[in-house]
Chains A and B, each alone.
Chain A
Amino acid sequence: MYDLALRLGSSRSDAEDLVQEALLRALASFGTFQDTGAARAWLFTILRNAARNRWREAARHPSEQLQADAPAAEPPGEVPDWRSFSAEDLEALLPQLSPAAREIVALRDLHGVPYKDIATALDCPVGTVMSRLHRGRSELRRLFLARAGAAGRRSAG
């Protein structure tokens, strides 16, 4: 949960506050959840909303919105060498993703949350989870291709 808060773009101290806040609210209303899947989705939702509020309070980044809405143009034929994808690549690229992409990639690909739980957390149909995930992964793929290309040029030059 702490990890997820960080991935959603919080600073370390913010992440800690967010997790505390989410757990306190959970403590206050637990007992109403019979289904742990629903509880999990609900806790993600708290984290996510809290993280979003913090972004709003912080300076707005208009470029992020543009990025999020940009069509996922994929250069045809170019396939990244995922075998060379390292922990450093992940740490460098994740913060560069648009908030929407970062959120869905963190939930699915880092935390392994099933589509239906993501759909509950994001309050959208599973079909939307699939298309957002596609866009998010495409964004990451594009950034990785650019980073690998730049690294290749550096080592060649």
Chain B
Amino acid sequence: MTPTCEAVRTYLAAHVDGEATPLGTEAIAAHLEGCEACAAAAAELRAYREAMARAYRPVAAPASLARFLRRRARGSDPRRWIAAAAALLLLAGGAALLLDRGRRGGFQTLAEVAVVHHDAVASDRVPLDVATSDPAILVAWFAGRVPFPIRLPVLDSPDLHLVGGRLMEVAGELAGYVAYRKGDSVVSLGVAPAQAGAPPRGAESEVFGTLRFHLSRMRGHNVIAWTDRGLAYALVSDLPAQGRSSCSVCHAPGSGLRGVEGFHR
């Protein structure tokens, strides 16, 4: 039995916002399939979210504020400074500090930057700029913010859920960071123009169909990097990444994706 229209309407916005509701995702989805009026209301809420994500242009913090923070940083207890920096990052919606480190030449490749962002997001030290489970909303949000069209790879294994995204900077250019959740762990995907995707040193490579995947370990995480049609991708996770076994994490039997063996020649 699906819940009543009244119950669904009460929680519809929360459902569309990706929040947990007492009715449960499946019950609401089942109701929407059979109820045209509620489905139309859900469609408008999604259109609204997409419109806001597209229209919103964050106002950058002025340089004077950055100077203020740097002044405070000097001569204070480094632990406090790290905490304040984390707070700023939490609230600045992405901006300054990690990226600043990238600009100073610390991190140059997509995989390196994606790993740093993976750590920060997985430990809740930085927020996502946009929280959505809808790939179309995320792609629309990136449009106009990064100087290249972002295409998300098809990673729709049933237990890998899109959570949202944020901006990051790779070798001086803006790039996309995409977060997924698989069970309790975060899986991160960096997306940048192909030239940023130099494979990590010491990477082991695997050919899947027409694509070559580079597998490596960085800062304790497993990284799979590849390029496809002009874009470089780096997938960061704590899931096993040993040759084919890393691929079978998502391409497991029953995942709905092509089996690992289908790629291997």
Q: Of B40, B51, B65, B80, which is within 8 A of A31 by CB?
A: B80
Q: Which of A36-44, A55-63, A149-157 contacts B (4 or more CB under 8 A)?
A: A36-44
Complex: A41 Cα to B61 Cα, angstroms: 20
Tally of B interface residues using CB under 8 Å: 49
B93 close to chain A: CB less than 8 A: yes
Name the residue of chain B whose CB is nearest to the CB of A85: B51
Pair A1/B91 contact, Cβ less than 8 Å: yes
A142 close to chain B: CB less than 8 A: no
- A44-96 residues with Cβ-Cβ distance < 8 A to B are 44, 79, 82-83, 85-87, 89-90
Interface readout for B53-69 with A: 1 if CB under 8 Å, 0 if not?
01111111110110011
Pair B129/A90 contact, Cβ less than 8 Å: no
Complex: A1 Cα to B68 Cα, angstroms: 15
Name the residue of chain A whose CB is nearest to the CB of B46: A82
Q: Of B10, B51, B64, B87, which is within 8 A of A43 by CB?
A: B87
Complex: A30 Cα to B93 Cα, angstroms: 20
Complex: A85 Cα to B11 Cα, angstroms: 25
Pair B69/A141 contact, Cβ less than 8 Å: no
Q: How far is the CB of A157 from chain B (nearest CB, A)?
A: 26
Pair B47/A83 contact, Cβ less than 8 Å: yes
Contacts known (A30-B80, A37-B124, A43-B87); A82 close to B62, Cβ less than 8 A = no
Inter-chain contacts of A113 with B (CB < 8 A): 127
Complex: A31 Cα to B87 Cα, angstroms: 12
A100 close to chain B: CB less than 8 A: no
Name the residue of chain A whose CB is nearest to the CB of B64: A16
B130 close to chain A: CB less than 8 A: yes
A12 close to chain B: CB less than 8 A: yes
Pair B61/A19 contact, Cβ less than 8 Å: yes
Q: Offer 8 A-B interface pairs, CB within 8 angstroms, sorted by A.
A: A4-B91, A27-B84, A31-B79, A33-B83, A40-B91, A85-B51, A89-B55, A134-B13
Using CB atoms and an 8 Å cutoff, list the residues of chain A in contact with chain B.
1-4, 6, 12, 16, 19-20, 23-24, 26-27, 30-31, 33, 36-37, 39-40, 43-44, 79, 82-83, 85-87, 89-90, 108-115, 130, 133-134, 137, 141
Query: Across chains A and B, which 3 residue pairs bring their CB atoms closest together, nearest first?
Result: A1-B91, A85-B51, A2-B61
